[in-house]
Structure 1
Amino acid sequence: MEEQTLTLKIAERIEEPGNIVRLRLVDPEGAALPKFEAGAHLDLHLRDGALDLWRQYSLCSDPAETGFYEIGVLLDPKTRGGSSAVHRLAVPGARFEVEGPRNHFPLAEDAETTVLFGGGIGVTPMLAMAQRLHALGRDFTLHYCTRSRDRTAFRTVIEQAPWAESVVFHFDDGDDAQRLDLARDLPPPGKNTHLYVCGPEGFMDWLIGYAEANGHDGGTVHREYFSADIDASGDTFEVEARLSGVTVTIGPEDTIAKALARAGVKIEVKCEEGVCGTCVTDVLEGTPDHRDKFLTDEEREEGTMICACCSRACTSRLVLDI
């Protein structure tokens, strides 16, 4: 789907448990919104005084709905300004510049079996997927993991949904039988069985590692990271932007994107954590040191792309196609 820029208005703000707000966005003139596919997200432009950030939020509403979009936003205690700005600024009537919908987490709609794993706020793309799978009449299960029943956002929405029986809740403060048990809850591997994982980084790494160690092929284990603890520091190296005719030195605490920007070569950056893919740039020479959570294992092995917001170089020099 071609990316587009929209101005959308907050029509409704619903306070969900666990410091999460569910926001309903509409066209200010009441026009139908562009269709999206399950797994898609919006890029939200957050501006307030000196604050000027782009942040990505998964669409959790029904992909068949064109009258509004819904997103859920957690007030992250580790916020770098994005989530706190949304909670402060997103009041009914407020308008936001939005890019998208974009989809780096597409749903394989022809899978025989689909199992969705949502950890905390990571359930948001799974809600759109569940609605789409139900509409298609597909076999699926959504495992939704939260700290406790009282802090489970979207619980009322799920319990009232026609696909509620396909959802299994897991609470950290529940008994052992009620918690997520991958030996029990993970389906047998198969080429027509697809897994989708979204949530905190540790939850995702544990679940993906377990699935792949137990025979699930990387091509059937789909993931989307909302955020990641990225170490972008390292040894000094050079980057040549070949098309621009510019060469810069990347210091131990610098990033490729920032160093090139100072030299007049702009690479668009949004998340700054290697999760959204906005800054992916083609590599012509050299070996990237991948620090991101966006590229697949196959793409990393090819070594022809790099997330310029956080990744570095294994060689003394990289040549980029910009």
Structure 2
Amino acid sequence: MKLVLDKKEPVADGVVLLTLRDPDDSPLPAWTPGAHVDLVLGDGLVRQYSLCGDPADTSAYQVAVLRAPEGRGGSRHLHDVLAEGQLVEVGDPRNHFELVEARRYLFVAGGIGITPILPMVAWAEAAGRDWRLVYGGRTRSSMAFRTTLEQRANVEIRPQDEYGQLDLEASLGDPAPGTAVYCCGPESLLLAVEQQCAAWPRGALHVERFSPRTVAPPNSAEFEVELARTGAVLRVPSGKSVLDVLEEQRVSVLWSCREGTCGTCETTVLNGTPDHRDSVLTDEEQECGDVMMVCVSRSRSTRLVLDL
């Protein structure tokens, strides 16, 4: 869908908040806390950004974008090129970071990782749930939405230049049954939280990554993919992904990141055992093996049957 950039405003050092609306003021597709959208920026640039506005407001989407000087160009385009009044192609919301039902919530955000956490906090507060947020960043001025959040007693604002690294041992403490932990931020923070939560009940921790996590090398052996809807059998050699082979055969599969972080290419597996390489599915979802991200994941069995 084509949306117009209605407003572009700085909300922290190096961070701009974009407000996108339908040109005809039509309501936008609904979304839930944790959802993200694709922004199609032209010249092959497609980037995913978490929605950080109010899910009840169907008149606009809001995303906050951190300038990444050493990135691949998406943030620079949004900071320096896209102007108010211009149209931008926006994909429908997708959510691989949904809130689960829990008695209490502990949110941990690092830097721009506050964006998917912000509507979660708003939901938990409106629902009367027990919740707490630990929010770290380089400096106070670099922390988007800090002034909105720091007024609340159950929010800890911890800029690194004042407090050092987040004290995750103190923040997470001992495993707390009934508590869901949600974390988003740089990879160093995610790894530290994962380590700290190793003794927590299985499924208590939920993370969202901006870049692919480091995983062991995939099974490089070639395998076959059977397309259940047509009966076609395709060979996937060691040097190509399932997505590469599907595209060569003109099999239509939606994709965006090609690095296993956005979830766009999620495909149902009807038979066989995927070798998961993505950074989207939880450990439990990967063990179930009924879906896979065809842009990065391969196969542990000689053949996969996909719902294509």
Q: TM-score, normalized by length of structure 2?
A: 0.88
Q: Secondary structure at the match of 2:203?
A: helix
Q: Does 1:73 align with 2:89?
A: no
1:40 matched residue in structure 2: 35
Pairwise CA distance, 1:78? 4.7
Query: Residue in 1 aligned with 2:51?
Result: 59
Q: Which amino acid aligns with 1:174?
A: E
Letter in 2 for 1:165: A
Say if 2:154 is the partner of 1:166.
Answer: yes
Note closer, same or farther for the CA distance 1:128–1:117 as it changes in structure 2 (3 Å cut).
same
Q: What's the secondary structure of 2:141's corresponding residue? A: helix
Q: Which residue of 2 aligns with 1:235?
A: 220
**Residue in structure 2 matching 1:265, options 251, 268, 290:** 251
- Percent of counterpart pairs with the same letter? 39
Structure 2 gap segments, 5+ residues each: none
Residue in 2 that maps onto 1:3: none
Q: Do 2:111 and 2:142's aligned partners in 1 also have CA atoms closer than 8 Å?
A: no
Aligned counterpart, 1:219: 203
* Cα deviation digits, residues 58-79 of structure 1 (max 9, x gap): 1111233333221111233453
Q: Give the structure 2 partner of residue 103 of structure 1.
A: 95
Deviation at 1:310, TM superposition (A): 0.8
**Maintained 8 Å contact 2:113/2:184:** yes
For 1:248 and 1:103, how far apart are their aligned partners in 2? 30
Answer yes or no: is the 8 Å Cα contact 2:33–2:98 preserved in 1.
yes
- Segment of structure 1 superposing worse, 192-201 or 147-156: 147-156
Aligned residues of 2:186 and 2:210 also touching (Cα < 8 A):
yes
Task: Encode CA deviations 1:163-206: one digit per residue, 9 max, x unaligned.
Answer: 63322122233345xx4212211154344211111112232122
Amino acid aligned to 1:55: R
Indicate which of 4, 9, 13 corresponds to 1:9.
Answer: 4
Are residue 28 (structure 1) and residue 13 (structure 2) matched?
no
**Partner letter of residue 219 of structure 1?**
G
TM-score normalised according to structure 1 size: 0.84
CA apart distance, 1:274: 0.9
Q: Which of 127, 132, 138 is 2:129 aligned to? A: 138
Amino acid at match of 1:139: D
Q: Indicate if the aligned counterparts of 1:25 and 1:70 stay in contact, CA closer than 8 A.
A: yes
**1:256 to 1:85, Cα distance in 2 relative to 1, 3 A:** farther
Q: 2:47 is aligned with what amino acid? A: R
SS in 1 for 2:91: strand
The offset of 1:151, in angstroms, is 2.1
Whether the 8 Å contact between 1:280 and 1:306 is mirrored in structure 2 is yes
- Contact kept, 8 Å, 1:111 with 1:192, in 2: the verdict is yes
CA contact (8 A) 1:239 1:256 kept: no
- Figure out how many residues of one structure are paired with residues of the other and give that number: 306
Query: Match of 1:311?
Result: 297
Q: Do the aligned partners of 2:225 and 2:236 also contact (CA within 8 Å) in 1? A: no
Give unmatched runs, 5+ long, in structure 1. 1-5
Flag as ranges the 4+ runs of structure 1 deviating above 4 A.
229-234
Q: Which amino acid aligns with 1:274?
A: G
Do 1:246 and 1:263's aligned partners in 2 also have CA atoms closer than 8 Å? no
> Compared with structure 1, are the counterparts of its residues 210 and 37 closer, same or farther at alpha carbon in structure 2 (3 Å cutoff)?
same
Kindly indicate whether the alpha-carbon contact (under 8 Å) linking 1:290 and 1:312 is maintained by their aligned counterparts in 2.
Answer: yes
Query: Is the counterpart of residue 185 in structure 1 residue 176 in structure 2?
Result: no
